[in-house]
C-alpha cells in the first residue's frame, strides 16, 4: 500500500518529527508499505532525526500573501497526490489549514488526521479576551471540519474529551527506543526534555527546583531543548539563585545516553498532546514526576507505582515529590523497575500493529 503523510516539515527536533521518523521508518522497513512524506518550504531537508532511506520525500514551496500561499498549498498537494496516487493520505499538521483538506481533496481517498497537540496550544502566555475569541472560533471550525476526515486519531483517552467527533480513534505514540540497559539511578541528576516555551512550564519547574536544592543542594537539573531567550529562563534561574544547579542544553539528537545518566525525569508542562519524553524516560527505567496536565501524563504514569502525578500547577507538591524520590533510593529503584516494565505497552510492534490494521481496512 502507498501512504502519503502531509505535514509542514520533519526537519525539526520536536516530538512530531520524532514520532514520524519512528512510524514511517517502521512502516517501510518492517511492514512493507510505500511511504512518502510531503513537507513545505524545504521542511524535509537537513533532517534532525534519522528516517529510513526507503522513505520518499516531496516538497512544495508556499509563500506570498495568504491567497497566494493557500493557492500554492492546494495545487502542490493535489499535484503530489496525482503523482503518487496513494491509497491513504495521513495529515500531521496541527494548523487550521489542514482541517480543510478533506473538503479540498474530496472523498476519493481515505484521509486520516493525526492530532499531536492539545487544543490548549491556542492559549499562550499573554492571553487576553481578543485572543480568547479568536481561539474559540478556531476551535469551533476545527470541531466542524474534524468530522470530515475518514478517521480522526488522538493519542490518549484524555484527548478524546477535547473532541465531540464520531470518527475518533485512539492510537498512542510508539517508543523511540527500549534499551536493554537501564539507568542505575545513582547519579544526582534530574532531567527534562523539550523546547523552551510557555507550554513546557519550565518557569514553574525552576520555582520548585529552588526549594528542591534547599534540601538537596548536591543535585543538578538538566534541561534539553531548543532555547528561546524570550522565555527568560536563564535570567529566572539567576534571580532564584539556582543557576549553578541548572543547565540548559540545546536539543540532543542522541538523547538516550542522557536519560541513562539521570535518576529522575520531571515534566512541568501546562498541557501536552501526549508526553513522548515520559515514555522514553520510563523505557530507561527512570521514575517520572509530572504535573497532571491536560493531556497525556495520566495515561502514561501510574501514580505511586512508576512515578508521581502532581496536581497541575501545585509547585509545592512537585517539590515534595522530587525530594521524596531524591531522598529514598529504594523508592527510586522500585518505581524505575515498574516504569521499565509498564511502558512496554508503547513498544513499536504494539502501536504500529494498530496502524497496520487501520490502513488495511482501506486496502483495495
Residue-wise pLDDT for 37-60, tens only, equals 999 999 999 999 999 999 999 999
3-state class (DSSP) for residue 353 = helix
pLDDT of residue 126: 66
CATH number for the domain whose boundaries are 2-174+347-360: 3.40.50.2000
Sorted by where each begins, the domain ranges of the chain are 2-174+347-360, 189-345
Segment 132-141 shows an average pLDDT of 87
Instruction: Report pLDDT for 314.
Output: 97
Confidence (pLDDT) at 160:
92
**Alpha carbon 25 to chain centroid, angstroms:** 18
Question: Regarding beta strands 111-114 and 151-154, do their DSSP bridges make them parallel or antiparallel, or are they unpaired?
Answer: parallel
- The pLDDT-based confidence of 119 (bands split at 50, 70, 90) is confident
Dist CA 72 CA 70 (whole Å): 5
The mean pLDDT value for 223-229 works out to 96
**Would you state the pLDDT for residue 131?**
76
pLDDT digits (tens, 9 = 90+) for 329-339: 999 999 999 99
Flag whether the pTM goes above 0.85. Answer: yes
Phi, psi (5° rounding) for residue 264? Answer: -145, 140
| Strand duo 111-114 + 168-170: pairing | unpaired
Q: Which fold has domain 189-345?
A: Rossmann fold (3.40.50)
Residues 228-276 pLDDT 10s: 999 999 999 999 999 999 999 999 999 999 999 999 999 999 999 899 9
Highest mean pLDDT among 94-98, 116-120, 179-183: 179-183
So what's the pLDDT on residue 125?
Answer: 63
| DSSP class per residue in 171-233 | -PPPPS---S----S-S-EEEEES-SSTTTTHHHHHHHHHHHHHH-TT-EEEEES---GGG-H
Confidence of residue 14 (pLDDT cuts 50, 70, 90): confident
pLDDT of amino acid 121: 74
Distance CA 184, CA 193 (A): 19
Mean pLDDT (whole number) for 96-119: 92
What 3-state DSSP class applies to 363? coil
pLDDT interval class at 120 (50, 70, 90): confident
Across 209-233, average pLDDT: 97
User: Is-contact 287 335, C-beta < 8 A?
Assistant: yes
pLDDT of residue 181: 96
Beta strands 151-154; 2-7: pairing state: unpaired
What pLDDT is recorded for position 11? Answer: 93
Phi, psi of 65 (to 5 degrees): -70, 165
The Cα 151–Cα 273 span in angstroms is 18
Q: In the structure grid, which three cell numbers stand for residue 127, read together?
A: 492571553
**In what helix (H) or strand (E) does residue 46 lie, and over which residues does it extend?**
none
Query: What average pLDDT score do residues 148-172 get?
Result: 95
Q: Which pLDDT score, from 0 to 100, does residue 342 have?
A: 97
Equal CATH topology for 2-174+347-360 and 189-345: yes
Number of alpha helices (DSSP H) and beta strands (DSSP E) in the chain: 12, 13
State the pLDDT at residue 167: 97
Q: Tell me the three cell numbers of residue 207.
A: 520555582
pLDDT for position 124: 63
* Residue 157 near residue 170, CB atoms below 8 Å: yes
pLDDT value at residue 205: 98
> Cα–Cα distance between 116 and 93 in angstroms, integer?
8
The answer, yes or no, to whether residue 123 has pLDDT greater than 70, is no
pLDDT tens digit sequence for 83-106: 999 999 999 998 899 999 999 999
| Beta-carbon contacts of residue 144 (< 8 Å; ≥ 6 apart) | none
pLDDT at 202 over 90: yes
Helix residue ranges, H only, 30-158: 66-84, 101-105, 129-146
What pLDDT is recorded for position 104? 92
Q: What is the mean pLDDT of the chain?
A: 94
Q: Please report which confidence band the pLDDT of residue 127 belongs to, taking 50, 70 and 90 as the band edges.
A: low
Exposure string of 209-219, with b = 16+ CB inside 10 Å and e = fewer, is bbbbbeeeeeb
> What pLDDT sits at residue 363?
82
Q: Is the pLDDT of residue 200 over 80?
A: yes
Amino acid at each position: 500500500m502507498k501512504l502519503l503523510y502531509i505535514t509542514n516539515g520533519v526537519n525539526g527536533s520536536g516530538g512530531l518529527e520524532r514520532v514520524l521518523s519512528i512510524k514511517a521508518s517502521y512502516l517501510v522497513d518492517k511492514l512493507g508499505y510505500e511511504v512518502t512524506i510531503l513537507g513545505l518550504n524545504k521542511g524535509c531537508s537537513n533532517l534532525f532525526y534519522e528516517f529510513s532511506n526507503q522513505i520518499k520525500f516531496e516538497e512544495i514551496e508556499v509563500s506570498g500573501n495568504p491567497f497566494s500561499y493557500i493557492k500554492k498549498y492546494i495545487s502542490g498537494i493535489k499535484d503530489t497526490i496525482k503523482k503518487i496516487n496513494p491509497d491513504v493520505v495521513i495529515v500531521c499538521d496541527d494548523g487550521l489549514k489542514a482541517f480543510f483538506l478533506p473538503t479540498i481533496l474530496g472523498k476519493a481517498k481515505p484521509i486520516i488526521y493525526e492530532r499531536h497537540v492539545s487544543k490548549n496550544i491556542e492559549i499562550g502566555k499573554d492571553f487576553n479576551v481578543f485572543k480568547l475569541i479568536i481561539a474559540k472560533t478556531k476551535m469551533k471550525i476545527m470541531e466542524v471540519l474534524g468530522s470530515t476526515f475518514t478517521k480522526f486519531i488522538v493519542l490518549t483517552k484524555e484527548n478524546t474529551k477535547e473532541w465531540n467527533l464520531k470518527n475518533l480513534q485512539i492510537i498512542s505514540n510508539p517508543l523511540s527506543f527500549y534499551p536493554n540497559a537501564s539507568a542505575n539511578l545513582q547519579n544526582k541528576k534530574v532531567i527534562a526534555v523539550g523546547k523552551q516555551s510557555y507550554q513546557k512550564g519550565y518557569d514553574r519547574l525552576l520555582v520548585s527546583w529552588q526549594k528542591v536544592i534547599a534540601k538537596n543542594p548536591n543535585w543538578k537539573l538538566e534541561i534539553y531543548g531548543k532555547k528561546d531567550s524570550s522565555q527568560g529562563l536563564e535570567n529566572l534561574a539567576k534571580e532564584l539563585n539556582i543557576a549553578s544547579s541548572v543547565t540548559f542544553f540545546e536539543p540532543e539528537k542522541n538523547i538516550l545516553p542522557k536519560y541513562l545518566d539521570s535518576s529522575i525525569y520531571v515534566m512541568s508542562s501546562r498541557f501536552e498532546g501526549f508526553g513522548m519524553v515520559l515514555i522514553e524516560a520510563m523505557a530507561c527505567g527512570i521514575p517520572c514526576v509530572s504535573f497532571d496536565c491536560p493531556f497525556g501524563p495520566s495515561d502514561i504514569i501510574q501514580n505511586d507505582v512508576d512515578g508521581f502525578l502532581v496536581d497541575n500547577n501545585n509547585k509545592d507538591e512537585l517539590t515534595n515529590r522530587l525530594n521524596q524520590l531524591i531522598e529514598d533510593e529504594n523508592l527510586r529503584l522500585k518505581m524505575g523497575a515498574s516504569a521499565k516494565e509498564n511502558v512496554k505497552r508503547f513498544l513499536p510492534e504494539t502501536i504500529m500493529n494498530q496502524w497496520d490494521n487501520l490502513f488495511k481496512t482501506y486496502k483495495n
